[in-house]
Amino acid sequence: MKKWMRGVFIPGVLGILAGATISYAQTTVPDRTIDSDTGTTVQRDGVVRDGAVVEERVPRDRVVVEERVVERKRPGELYVAGFGGWTLGHSFSNTNDGGASSAQGSFDLADSVVYGMKVGYFMPGRMNWLGVELEGFNTTPHLEQRDNVPGSHLRVTTLGLNLIARKRLACRADDRDHYDRTRHTTAYEKDGRYYDDRTPVEENERCPLQVYAGAGPAIFFAETSNQFGNSSEKGEVGVNALAGLKYFVHRNVAIFGEYKFNYAGFDFQQFQSTAAAAQGITGNYKASHFVGGLAVHF
pLDDT, tens digit, for every residue of 113-152?
999 999 999 999 889 999 999 999 999 998 887 776 677 8
Helix (H) or strand (E) holding 241: strand 229-248
Higher pLDDT, 268 or 69: 268
Could you tell me the pLDDT band of residue 100, with boundaries at 50, 70 and 90? very low
In this predicted structure, the answer to whether residue 107 has a pLDDT above a threshold of 60 is yes
Region 61-75 average pLDDT: 58
Residue 242 has what pLDDT?
A: 98
Rounded to an integer, the average pLDDT of 36-48 is 51
What percent of the chain is helix, strand and coil (3-state, nearest 5)? Answer: 15, 55, 30
Share of the chain above pLDDT 90, in %: 39
Does residue 81 have a pLDDT over 80?
yes
Q: Which has the closest alpha carbon to 80: 296, 251, 257, 292? A: 296
pLDDT of residue 144: 84
Report pLDDT digits (tens) over 229-286. Answer: 677 777 899 999 999 999 999 999 999 999 999 999 888 776 555 444 456 678 889 9
pLDDT band at 292 (very low <50, low <70, confident <90, very high): very high
* Average pLDDT value for residue range 178-206: 62
Domain residues of the chain, as ranges?
27-67, 77-297
Q: Decide: 92 and 266 in contact? Cβ < 8 Å.
A: yes
Q: Please tell me the predicted confidence (pLDDT) of residue 156.
A: 94
The pLDDT score that the predictor gives to residue 63 is: 54
Q: What is the pLDDT of residue 275?
A: 43
Q: Look at 265 and 51; give whichever has higher pLDDT.
A: 265
CB environment 227-259: b (16+ within 10 A), e (fewer): ebeebebeebebebbbebebebeebeebebebb
User: pLDDT of 167-180, one tens digit each?
Assistant: 999 998 765 555 45
Mean model confidence pLDDT for the chain: 76
What is the 3-state secondary structure of 70-110? CCCCCCCEEEEEEEEEEEEEEEEEEEEECCCCCEEEEEEEC
The residues near 147 (Cβ < 8 Å, ≥ 6 apart) are: none
Q: What percent of the chain lies above the pLDDT cut of 70?
A: 57
CATH class of 77-297: mainly beta
